[in-house]
Each structure stands twice: as structure tokens, then as C-alpha cells.
Structure 1
Amino acid sequence: MARMSSASLHHPGFAELTRVSARIGCLSFGGPAGQIALMHRELVDERRWIEEEEFLQALNLCHLLPGPEAQQLATWIGWKLHGWKGGAVAGMLFVIPGALVMLALSILYGMAADLDWFAAIFMGIKAAVLAIIVQALLRIAGRAIKTPVQRGLAIAAFVALFLFDAPFPLVILAALGIGAVVGRSRPQLLALHPAPASARVSAHPWAATIKAILVWSAIWAAPMAAVFVFLGRDHVLWDIGVFFSQLAVVTFGGAYAVLSYMAQEAVSSFGWLSGGEMADGLGLAETTPGPLIMVTQFVGYLVAFRAPEPFSPIVAGILGAALTTWETFAPCFLWIFAMAPWMDRLQRAPFLKGGLAAVTAAVVGVVANLALWFALHVLFAQVAWIEAGPMRLQFPEPASFQWQPALIAVIAAVLVFALRWSIVRTLAATAACGLLLAWLA
């Protein structure tokens, strides 16, 4: 694609940026790939707000940072055009439409989960999620695995998580460390290419970075301070805020990688949700615009909805959803506003590029673990933990096999892989299958 000249760029007014950002937020279906393609078409090709080279460099920076890369890219574009004000508006409008839809669906789920027809619909959705995760696994593997070292990192991550129940943050940190060393000493082992010799190197913008860290750290912490003052550390909202604040720091590798950690903790450690409910949340998130990581809001809503005191269940659920969304996305603004001025230097850092390549490879193993975890909890009614020396295995009870979701999962696989249906269309079809099987039974 030919690079446009700076003279041909159009600098939008703040009102125009707001209007277009809201439009992108409402149309951003299809996961990160679809969202980034939408922004590229709207902002680079059609409106000519950003140069092609700058867009790609910013996307690379967003891949280096924890959090949803598409939302961070939207924030960076707003920052580039109108500073902090533009970044805040563009980033928030990318999230708000999906957050409102997800909140409405979470409220409906909390109120109707015990109804037979509702359970039948979500049996179909959960089964479709299996095919969707496998599709994501194959897509990520095709992009991330280029060398034997990357393949080894993916296998090691899967073994550590599934066979040894290793903590997700430890797996990601280990991959970062290995990648940093290999990227500096033997970059070819991770299929890294040197930065162009003509790449610009900016000055050290320390003042802007320190200001961003101080301001957005305070914004990030503000709701937790309110929970501490008014409800105390024993309230469930405190637990929600602490957990999702920690999650925001280790969300490297995309939403599916984060889901593996969140499912491990929310289901196995905290006992907040069942494995089937986690699959329901992912199915809902797949149908909404905005980042897939919005599934965190579903978890926050249900946890607070079920332990509402001193509020009513719905009010508590809304507070839990709002707190979860805040703690998930406020750090994204911190990372962008603090690191964007350093973009040119980050492009040339081999240890950062190596760390990212290693984490991306490890994410293949993480998503494989997620796929197997969901398969066990969707296809079997009973799954137990078995200790075997240092290994801690999940083992299903064969007699609890459920043929209905297994059949729908096969149908979903045909729709996704053979007929290439969209995610939303596939989820609608499998939800109808769930209702039909329940009616026949």
C-alpha cells in the first residue's frame, strides 16, 4: 500500500473525532482482527487521519502492552490527534457501547438463569464456544509459531498450565524473560527482524510519562479507595476490584489468554462461577461490540449479584460490573499515555520484541489449555481434580458425558470451519439448536 504524505492528512476537529469514535465503538464486532481492520479502513484509508506507517508502529506498541490491543490502538489514535482529551474519548467510546450491551445481557442472565428455556439457549451457546475457541487457537498458532523455539514455548506453556496447574502470571513472566534473552542474543530463533535503519528515535519524554503515571494511577485506584472507605476490605466488591486490577497487569497475549487465567481463578480458586457459566459469559461477549475481554464485566456482575449486601442484587451487580470495567480498562489508558511518547524507541528494543514474540508463542499453549478446560466443563457434568505427585490434573467422570452439547459442538464446528459462518450467526444457530433439543426432550 502506498504511503500517504503528511500534507495529504486531514486533522479532524474534536467533535468529528468523537462522532467517528462512537461509530467505530458501535460497529466493532469480530474480535481484535476485525476491529483493527475497521479502524484502518475508517481512519487510514478513508478519512486519512493517520499515516499507514504510524498506524502499524502504534499497533506494534499496543501488542507490547498488557490489555486489549484494539482498544489501546483507538486510544493512541485519539491521543495522536487531540492529546489526552482525544485519547480518553476515543478509548472510552470504543468500550462504552459494548459495555452497555454486556451489562443488559448480564442483568437478563442473572434474572433468567434458572428458567428451562434460558438454560437450553445457553447450552447451545456454550457448545458453540468450543468451536470458536478452537478456531482462535488455529488462527493464533498460524500467526505466532514460526520456529522450533516458539513451538517449544507453546508446548511448555500448555504442559505447565494443564498438567501442573501453574499460575498464569508465572507462565507469562517466564515467557517474557526467555524471549528478552533470546531476542537480544539470538533473534533469529524467534523469527525477529531488525528495526529499519531509518527509524526515528525521539527524545526522552520523561515529564509526559511521569505525569501520565501519576494521574492515571490515581484514576485507576479511585473506585477502590471508595470501596475501602464505605464498604471495607471484607466486601465482595473489594475482592472483585483487587482481582481484576491484578488481571489488568498480566493481560498479555489477548483475551483468550486472559480467559484461561480468569477461569482458573474465578472458577477453581474463588468458586465465584461454574465452568459452564464462564462459557456462557464468553458466548455473550462474542455477540457484543468492543473488546472480547468485556467478559470480565459479566463475571463482576454475577459475583456481586450473588452477594449483594447491603444493596439489592441488581444494584450490587451493576456496581460489580462497573467496578470490573473500570479496573480492566483504566490501566489501558495509563499504558498508552505513559508509553506512546516512547514509541520510536520501543520499536528498536530487541529485548521487548523478543519478549512479545515469546509471549505470543506461549499464548498458543495457553489457549489450547483454555479449549481443553472448556471442553471438559461443557461436555461433562462432573470434573474432578486428581493429585499425582507435582501434577494436578482435571479428570472428567465418563458417566457424566452430555451428548446434547457434544452434538451441538459438532454442528458449530461445521458452521465455523466448513461453511465459514460468522460468530454471531453461529451462536444464533446453536442457541436455536439448544432450544430444539430441549423441546424434543
Structure 2
Amino acid sequence: METTSTFAPRYSLWQLVQYMLRLGALGFGGPVALAGYMHRDLVERRGWISESDYKEGLALAQLAPGPMAAQLAIYLGYVHYRVIGASLAGVAFVLPSFLMVVALGWAYRQFGGLQWMQAVFYGVGAAVVGIIAISAHKLASKSVGKDPLKWSIFLLLAATTLITESEIAWLFIAAGVVNWLWRAPPAWLRGKPLHAIAATPFALSALNAADLPLLGQLGVFFAKAGAFVFGSGLAIVPFLYGGVVTEHHWLNDKQFVDAVAVAMITPGPVVITVGFIGYLIAGFWGACVAALATFIPCYLFTILPAPYFKRYGKLPGIAAFVDGVTAAAVGAITGSVIVIAKRSITDLPTILLALTTVALLWRFKKLQEPIIVVAAALIGLAIFPLLHR
């Protein structure tokens, strides 16, 4: 089946950039919600991107290391406008939230912390769980359907993500292989193997960051974070903690927790917390180095394999592999909903906030998520001080 990418696009590059700027500025909820928004807006409502192109992008974003939502945005920019589209879409998606966390980093340093953040996150965190749950349901119904094998893959990945609270990269590949061998088994298995495009960031680990100036140390550390961490932006948090707090002692525990909270209450990719962390460590240039070093590997991991996905993605074996990986990705995303809920749903008010969010989004299909997020933030500011005096 042909994809829309074989025809002239129904939108201009500037329209796509405008959309990514808006999503980066208003898109709350972490990677699953952002991926859901892209599907809803670009596939379902506007018809700019075909379902198959979207699924290829989602599969590639899960297979390659780096933040999933940013890689999906880059790939969707590549679909019709190739490298220039990928580059502009990626920058437009990340830039708004980067500017926000830099501003918050400045305020944090100027005023000695952000006590109000706990109250905001109390409300927003609960609402975000509801937003992610609705997005995960939509993705599952589209990608998994009623296929028993895909449901098995979905449930396995949901369970492992819930139990381990992380995304296990090799399981995505295994899911793709299983679905490929079941749906489109090759006539012979001794042909040329599929060569994955692999950059070689591993040399970074051999560098002795202790001998470099501070910005150099930041660049090396955050490049490793972007190159070695798979899946959602939340997956980068344990890696960052180990380096930023435990190994280098750049931040203390409270500062690190505040950095993660900033990422959760600001729109755009969760991994943009690296900008806030970089600002606290080395000011504006520290934020720039941390963000660039984190996102450049994921950019390369997306545009380098993209031509091969476009060229060979419709072969039955490749299509089956992508379907398997997609089912695994949606399962992992669903598991992450529960992981996030365990941290955000702490009492009766947060339970009610999450359930109300689900009910509103279920009933009113065109309700904009930013409206819910703002309302939840105001509720948090009002309720949290009363419950935590």
C-alpha cells in the first residue's frame, strides 16, 4: 500500500514548523501524550501524514536511543521534506520548552527555589495521568486492534515496564522479530541480514571527562545520556541522577528532584529537563550545551535510518517487524501510565482529578489539553497548601 509520502504534501514546511512550535509550547503529558497528539492532529484530523508513515516513525523512535517524542517529531518532518524538514521540525518542537526551562532555571537561581512548584505539580501530575491514559487507549485501539499476537506483545511490554519501571530495548526488537516470523516468514533465512544504521557514540565513554573544562564535561555526559537511553524521556532520569548527583556532585538531591518537576510541569519533551540541569550547573551556556549534546544523537539516530525505513518499510517482512515493534511500544507506554500514576496519584483529590480528566476527554473529543492542565495547576495551588500545612 502506498503512503502519502509518495505524493506532493498537502501542507507547507512552514505549516509543519508552526504546528511543532505550538505542540512544543502547549503539549503536556510526556512522550506518550505527545505521540498521541501528533497522531490525532497530523494523521486523523489533518491527513498530512499517513498511518503507515506514523507507525514507521513510532517504531524507529522506539528502536533508536534517545527521547521518543522528539525522534517522532523529527521523523514526521522527514516524511515529506527530508533532512531540512527533520531539522526544522526537531528544532521547532524542542525550542519552546527549552526557553521555558532556561527561564525557570534563572528564576530558581535568583529566588532560591520554586516552592510553588510542588503545589502546581500536585494538580498537574494527576491531570497528566488522565491525559496519558486517554492517549494510550487511542494508540492501542489503532495499533493493536483485535490481533491476539499483538495483544500478547502489548501485555508483555506493559507488564515488564510496570515491574521494572524502565523500557527494555531488546524486547522491542524481539517483538518485531516474533511478529515478522509469524506474519511474513522469509522463504529462506540465509540472505543478507537487515543492517541497522548505528552511529558509534560508544567512544564517548572512553573519554576522561575529568580532564575537560566544565562545559566539555557537560557535553560528554549529556551526549552519552542522549545516545544510550532508550524510550521515553522518563527513562533518562535514573541515568541523569547517577551522573549529575552521585558521580559529579553537580546538583544535590533536592535540586535534581526540582529539575524533574520542572520537566513535568512544562510542555514539550520531558527530557528537556537537561536544559534546566545545565543552567543550574553552568548558566545559559551550560543549558545550551546540555540540550544540544542530548538531542544531537537522537537527531542522527533518526535521519540516518530514515531513508531505509522509507525504501524498505513496505516489504511484508519489514511491515510485520514494524507492527510488532509498534505493539511493543504501545504496551510500554501503557505500562508507563501506571508507573507515573503511582507517583502522582497520592490521595482522594488527585484520584478525582485524574478520573475527571479522563471523563472530560472521553466526553468532549475536541477539548484542548492545555485548558485541563491550567485548571489542574490552579486546583493544585488552591488545595495543596490546605492539605500540607
Return the alpha-carbon distance in structure 2 between the equivalents of residues 173 and 91 of structure 1. 24
| TM-score in terms of structure 2 length | 0.71
1:241 paired residue number: 223
CA deviation map 1:144-165 (0-9, x unaligned): 3222222211222233333356
Return the alpha-carbon distance in structure 1 between the equivalents of residues 42 and 158 of structure 2. 33
User: % of aligned pairs identical?
Assistant: 14
Return the alpha-carbon distance in structure 1 between the equivalents of residues 277 and 149 of structure 2. 40
When residues 268 and 165 of structure 1 are mapped into structure 2, their CA distance, relative to the original with a 3 A threshold, is farther
Q: Counterpart of 1:144 in structure 2: which amino acid?
A: S
When residues 426 and 223 of structure 1 are mapped into structure 2, their CA distance, relative to the original with a 3 A threshold, is farther
**Selected match of 1:409 from 326, 351, 354:** 354
2:377 paired residue number: 431
- Can you give the 5+ residue segments of structure 1 that lack an aligned partner in the other structure? 46-51, 80-86, 187-208, 252-257, 289-293, 380-400
**Selected match of 1:297 from 258, 267, 272:** 272
Return the alpha-carbon distance in structure 2 between the equivalents of residues 60 and 412 of structure 1. 27
Task: Classify the secondary structure of the residue corresponding to 2:184.
Answer: helix
CA contact (8 A) 2:73 2:86 kept: no
Q: Counterpart of 1:362 in structure 2: which amino acid?
A: A
2:266 paired residue number: 284
CA contact (8 A) 2:21 2:96 kept: no
Q: Counterpart of 2:222 in structure 1: which amino acid?
A: I
1:48 paired residue number: none
CA apart distance, 1:355: 1.9
CA deviation map 1:198-223 (0-9, x unaligned): xxxxxxxxxxx99xx79xx69x9999
Q: RCO higher in 1 or 2 (8 Å CA, sep ≥ 6)?
A: 2
Task: Classify the secondary structure of the residue corresponding to 2:304.
Answer: helix
Return the alpha-carbon distance in structure 1 between the equivalents of residues 264 and 114 of structure 2. 20
Return the alpha-carbon distance in structure 2 between the equivalents of residues 102 and 339 of structure 1. 31
When residues 43 and 405 of structure 1 are mapped into structure 2, their CA distance, relative to the original with a 3 A threshold, is closer
Greater Rg over alpha carbons, structure: 1
2:176 paired residue number: 176
When residues 77 and 271 of structure 1 are mapped into structure 2, their CA distance, relative to the original with a 3 A threshold, is same
1:320 paired residue number: 290
2:318 paired residue number: 352
Return the alpha-carbon distance in structure 1 between the equivalents of residues 16 and 203 of structure 2. 26
When residues 162 and 154 of structure 1 are mapped into structure 2, their CA distance, relative to the original with a 3 A threshold, is same
Return the alpha-carbon distance in structure 2 between the equivalents of residues 125 and 246 of structure 1. 29
CA deviation map 1:81-132 (0-9, x unaligned): xxxxxx32x2222232332211122123334563333332222211111111
CA apart distance, 1:173: 2.4
1:59-70 to 2 correspondence within 5 Å? 59=54, 61-66=56-61, 68-70=71-73
CA apart distance, 1:18: 5.4
| TM-score in terms of structure 1 length | 0.64
- Can you give the 5+ residue segments of structure 2 that lack an aligned partner in the other structure? 28-33, 62-67, 187-194, 247-252
1:27-176 to 2 correspondence within 5 Å? 27-28=22-23, 31-32=34-35, 34-35=37-38, 58-59=53-54, 61-66=56-61, 68-79=71-82, 87-88=83-84, 90-112=85-107, 114-145=113-144, 146-163=146-163, 168-176=168-176
Task: Classify the secondary structure of the residue corresponding to 1:367.
Answer: helix
CA contact (8 A) 2:77 2:88 kept: no
Return the alpha-carbon distance in structure 1 between the equivalents of residues 258 and 357 of structure 2. 17
CA contact (8 A) 2:122 2:384 kept: no
Return the alpha-carbon distance in structure 1 between the equivalents of residues 369 and 208 of structure 2. 37
Task: Classify the secondary structure of the residue corresponding to 1:115.
Answer: coil
Return the alpha-carbon distance in structure 1 between the equivalents of residues 319 and 9 of structure 2. 31
When residues 162 and 356 of structure 1 are mapped into structure 2, their CA distance, relative to the original with a 3 A threshold, is same
CA apart distance, 1:302: 3.4
Q: Counterpart of 2:138 in structure 1: which amino acid?
A: R
Return the alpha-carbon distance in structure 2 between the equivalents of residues 11 and 373 of structure 1. 39
Return the alpha-carbon distance in structure 1 between the equivalents of residues 304 and 322 of structure 2. 19
The CA RMSD measured in Å over matched residues stands at 4.3
CA deviation map 1:282-326 (0-9, x unaligned): 4423xx5xxxxx32222x2234345x2xxx334322321222222
CA contact (8 A) 1:144 1:360 kept: yes
Q: Counterpart of 1:174 in structure 2: which amino acid?
A: A
CA contact (8 A) 1:260 1:370 kept: no
CA contact (8 A) 1:72 1:333 kept: yes
2:65 paired residue number: none
CA apart distance, 1:334: 1.8
1:384 paired residue number: none
1:373 paired residue number: 339
Q: Counterpart of 1:178 in structure 2: which amino acid?
A: V
**Selected match of 1:331 from 297, 301, 311:** 301
When residues 352 and 282 of structure 1 are mapped into structure 2, their CA distance, relative to the original with a 3 A threshold, is farther
1:363 paired residue number: 329
